[in-house]
Amino acid sequence: MNKKDKYEIAIVGATGAVGRRMVSTLEERNFPVACLTALASSRSVGKTLLFRGKTIEVKELKEDSFKKIDIALFSAGGSISKKYAPIAVESGCVVIDNSSAWRMKKEVPLIIPEVNPSALGKKWGIIANPNCSTIQMVVALKPIHDRFRIRRVVVSTYQSVSGSGQKAVEELEQQSKDILEGKPAQSNVYPHQIAFNCIPHIDVFLENGYTKEEMKMVNETQKILGDDTIEVSPTTVRVPVFYSHSEALNVETELPMKADEVKDLLSLSPGISVVDNPEKSEYPQAIKACGKGSVVVGRIRKDLTRNNAINLWVVSDNLLKGAACNAVQIAELLLKRLTPSNL
């Protein structure tokens, strides 16, 4: 990819919840876009999106869609990424993929710009965007790991329905209305009613008794932090919240640490906002994290039962920092790395 003033950008899956936020994030962060191409399935052809005051018509994703494209942001699911990402790269395009298709491939960098920018390397083809629940956790863990060396993390997630797509958002809304009107709730997206309920089941169950979502958090955390000795014990839960994921973390370290030290450390760390004033009922909340690209951390306190351990409450907008914003930040990091040698 050549260094220039503006770049040809494509978004694959542009009409989805994350795709739409990729469009708005490019605009909000003033990314140097020469031309934006919106790509989706044939069902979405003809739909329009607004970008910088101009209407963009959605085009059908095809094998020849990536000619002259510099960077393609993919958010259309693993099967689409597996098929079209290599085609895009072959066309000379850099792919930033939001699916799980490429994350654990050894040759594919898995990037959170605030955490492991050096892992990007100098030659780019496909770059993977981590899982939404992994991103917000690892942004909070990175400064702690650098200072105190993390041994073990126990994490329970409270993940919003938007992580399952727009149909899940509509299902929660409809179920809530039906139940409040005394009607039976119909479940199509989830195996059980999600309204007024919690479901400890995200993605498929594996032979070890954990879900695929839970194992993503284990494997991706170790890859991003470059340390496979870090133990991660996850439980992922879908909750009746529309947007933003919340996580309860218990973090055990090799070196001793105090809660105030951790609070000060996180306050100075990139991408993190500390909201931790429980006396005034100030702490991270899902509804307040919506629309923000940062990771919000609070309830920072010493573990009462273990030495060298603390508890944290971590919240972030899963469609922004957990997906669209992180992808655009990776693209920004790419542009910073372009030098005359890339020309």
Catalogue the active-site residues: 132, 245
Take residue 188 and report the two structure tokens written for it. Answer: 């199509």
Q: Measuring CA to CA, how many Å separate 134 from each of 173, 234, 287? A: 26, 11, 20
Integer Rg of the chain from CA: 20
- Cα separation of 192 and 186, whole Å? 9
Enter the DSSP assignment of 131: P
Take residue 108 and report the two structure tokens written for it. Answer: 């594919």
- Per this entry, what is the length of the chain? 343
Amino acid (1-letter code) at residue 260: D
| SS3 assignment, position 119 | helix
DSSP character string of 172-203: HHHHHHHHHTTPPPP-SSSSS--TT--B---S
Can you say whether the dihedral through the CA atoms of 201, 179, 189, 41 is positive or negative?
A: negative
